[in-house]
Chain A
Amino acid sequence: MAARLIQTGGGAHADLAGANALAQADWLLDWESAQRNAVLTLDHLERSLPAALSPLARDFVDVATGIFLADIAVPRGRNEQWVRDIELRLVVRELDFWQSVSRPLTRLVHLLTADNFTITFCPRRDEQPPRLRDADAGAGYDADCVALLSGGVDSLAGAVLLLQTGRRSHFIMHYSGNPTVRMAQDNVAALLAESWPDTHLTSALHIAPDTSSPAALPFPPPDNREESRRARSLLFMTLGAVTAATAGLEEVYIPENGVLTAALPLTRARVGSLSTRSTDPGVIKLFNSLCEQAGWSCRVQNPFLYQTKAELIRDVLRPALSPLDIQKAVSCWMTGRHNRQCGGCIPCLLRRLAMLAAGLPDEAYMTDILGDPLSHSGTDAFTNLVDLLTQVSTVLGKSDDELVMEYPRVLDLATAGADVEQILGMLRRFAGEVKEVLTTRFRASAALLDVV
Chain B
Amino acid sequence: MGTSASQRSPATPEWEQVRELYKQPNPQPGEVVGRIVAALSPETRQEMHGPSVVPSLNALLWGSCHVAKHGLPPLVEDISLLTTGPPVIALAATVRNYAQEHITDGRLSSRFGELALDALSNTVMDAAAAGRGLLSVTAAEAAANFGSYAAQQNLAGLSENFLGHDFDHLFRYFVARDIGDFIGTEAFPTVSHGSRLLDDVAHYCRESTTQVSLAAFEDQLHEAVALPLHERIAKLEPVIAYGIVTGLGVLAGGH
List A residues 334-390 near B (Cβ within 8 Å).
334, 345-347, 373-374, 377-378, 380, 382-384, 386-387, 389-390
**Nearest CB on A from B149, distance (A):** 19
Q: Is B191 an interface residue (CB 8 A)?
A: yes
Among A373, A378, A380, the one with the most B-chain Cβ atoms within 10 Å of its Cβ is A380
Contact-residue size bin, chain B (C-beta under 8 Å from the other chain): 35 or more
Which residue on chain A has the smallest CB distance to residue B110?
Answer: A83
Residue of A nearest to B92 (CB): A411
Complex Cα distance, B100 from A103, in Å, reads: 13
| Residues of A contacting B80 in the complex (Cβ-Cβ under 8 angstroms) | 417
Instruction: Give the segment of B4-12, B216-224, B238-246 that binds chain A.
Output: B4-12
Of the candidates B43, B86, B104, the one having the most CB atoms from chain A within 10 angstroms of its own CB is B104
Residue of A103, A380, A419, A447 near B84 (CB, 8 A) is A419
Residues 82-113 of chain B, each 1 if its beta carbon lies under 8 Å from chain A, else 0? 00111001101110110011011101111110
Of A82, A404, A448, the contact of B190 (CB 8 Å cutoff): A448
Residues of B within 8 A of A275 (CB): 3-5
Whether the Cβ atoms of A420 and B89 lie closer than 8 Å is yes
- Selected from A114, A377, A384, A414, the residue in CB contact (under 8 A) with B89 is A414
CB nearest neighbor in A for B47: A80
B79 — nearest CB in chain A belongs to which residue? A415
Instruction: Answer whether residue B70 sits at the interface, using C-beta atoms and an 8 A cutoff.
Output: no
Complex Cα spacing A52 to B47, Å: 50
Partner of A80, one of B44, B90, B100, B185: B44
B141 to chain A, nearest CB (A): 15
A408 in contact with B121 given A80-B44, A383-B181, A414-B93 (CB within 8 Å): yes
Contacts of A410 in B (CB 8 A): 89
Verify if B2 is at the interface (C-beta below 8 Å from A): yes
Give bound CA distance, A110 to B107, whole Å. 9
Name the B residues within 8 Å of A270 (CB-CB): 4-6
Determine whether A35 belongs to the interface, using a CB cutoff of 8 Å to chain B: no
Which B residues touch A417, using CB under 8 A?
80, 84
- Asked if residues B192 and A393 are in contact (CB atoms below 8 Å), the reply is yes
Contacts of B109 in A (CB 8 A): 83, 110, 114-116, 272
Of all chain B residues, which has the CB nearest A407?
Answer: B118
| Residues A107 and B101 in contact in the complex (CB < 8 Å), given A267-B6, A347-B2, A377-B181 | yes
Interface size class of A (residues with CB under 8 A): 35 or more
Chain A residue contacts of B13, Cβ below 8 A: none
- Chain B residues with Cβ under 8 A from A15's Cβ? none
Does B139 make an interface contact (CB < 8 A)?
no
Residues of A within 8 Å of B194, CB to CB, are 386, 390
Residues of A within 8 A of B18 (CB): none
The verdict on B253 contacting chain A, using a C-beta distance below 8 Å, is no
Flag if B93 contacts A412 (CB, 8 Å): yes
Q: Is the CB of A268 within 8 A of B173?
A: yes
A434 to B: closest C-beta gap in Å: 12
**Interface of B with A (CB < 8 Å)?**
1-7, 9-10, 43-44, 47, 79-81, 84-86, 89-90, 92-94, 96-97, 100-101, 103-105, 107-112, 114-115, 117-118, 121-122, 125, 133-135, 169, 172-173, 176-177, 180-181, 183-185, 189-192, 194-195, 198
Given A82-B7, A272-B109, A414-B81, 8 new contacts (CB under 8 A): A79-B177, A80-B44, A83-B111, A266-B4, A346-B2, A386-B194, A390-B194, A449-B190
A-B contacts, 14 of them at CB < 8 A, read: A106-B105, A110-B104, A228-B5, A268-B115, A268-B173, A269-B176, A276-B3, A333-B3, A377-B185, A390-B194, A404-B134, A412-B97, A414-B85, A419-B84
